[in-house]
Amino acid sequence: MNIKKDDSLSLVLIGGSSGSFVIFEEILKLLVQPLSFAIVFVLHRGKSSTSVLPELFRNRTNVFMSEPHHLDTIETNTVYFAFPDYHLLIGPDGRFYYDLSEKVFFSRPCIDATFISAAFSGIPVKAALLLSGSSADGAFGVKVLAQKGFATYVLNPKDAESPRMPEAALQQYDKHTIIYKSTLIKVVQDILYSHAM
């Protein structure tokens, strides 16, 4: 495989399901160009909801947003959305790969698939955030990222509209940093604009 990876690339991964949409909108409003990293957002959604997220969020931020194609190179200063009905993988060559194997936790895209592929890609993960959702998807993925030494953040289950997802993450691994709703903005700003890896 050709490794033509951009050495300056780093990732911020965000995963969520029901109850995560609003929080993600808040995060988008905090973005200031240019971002020195790429954001990859994996949200559970129905397969019929095609290519609407970049449109929906268009007036929330002026950062470039995209639902990537297979083999697209991951660029900094871009927000990517996992396309419905495929698993989105991150390759060691800095490209996106789609995978069509069966659903996990009844979900495609599944958060674990993206998070695990990022953990093994060799691309630095600046931060991984797991928000709200009613399944345990993402819990294992965020643990793998933490064990690889990356900064991981989980929404306080009490602050989540659907607590199952963050609960499962904290059950599987108790050293994630917990994000509270009251301090969300401050924490996210620190994550996005700190220079620490």
Partner 1 sequence: MVLIEYSELETLIGRIHEISGFDFSGYARPSLLRRASRYLTQHTMNVKDLLLHIEPGGGIVYDLIQELTVNYSEMFRDPDFFMKVKTDVFSYLESYPALRFWVAGCASGEEAFSMAILLKEAGYLERSIIYATDLNNKVLTAAREGVFTLGNTRTFSENYLLAAGKNSLSDYYHVAYNMAVISPEIRKKIVFSLHDLTGDGVFNEFQFISCRNVMIYFTLELRQNVFRLLYDSLSMLGFLCLGKRETLRYSGIEQNFKIIDSTLNIYQKIQ
**CA 100 – CA 109 distance, rounded (Å):** 9
Contact status: 161 vs partner 1 (CB under 8 A): no
Contact status: 117 vs partner 1 (CB under 8 A): yes
**Tokens representing residue 145 in the block:** 């990222």
**CA 137 – CA 169 distance, rounded (Å):** 9
**CA 86 – CA 42 distance, rounded (Å):** 11
Nearer to partner 1, 64 or 97 (CB): 97
Task: Report the residue from 13, 38, 43, 90 that binds partner 1 according to the rule CB under 8 A.
Answer: 90
Cβ atoms within 10 Å, residue 40? 25
Active site residues: 17, 44, 137
User: What character string, x for contact with partner 1 (CB under 8 A) and - otherwise, covers 125-144?
Assistant: ---------------x---x
**H or E element: which one contains 13?**
strand 11-16
Enumerate binding residues for partner 1 (CB under 8 A).
Answer: 1-2, 48, 50-51, 68-71, 83, 86-87, 89-92, 97-102, 113, 116-117, 120-121, 140, 144
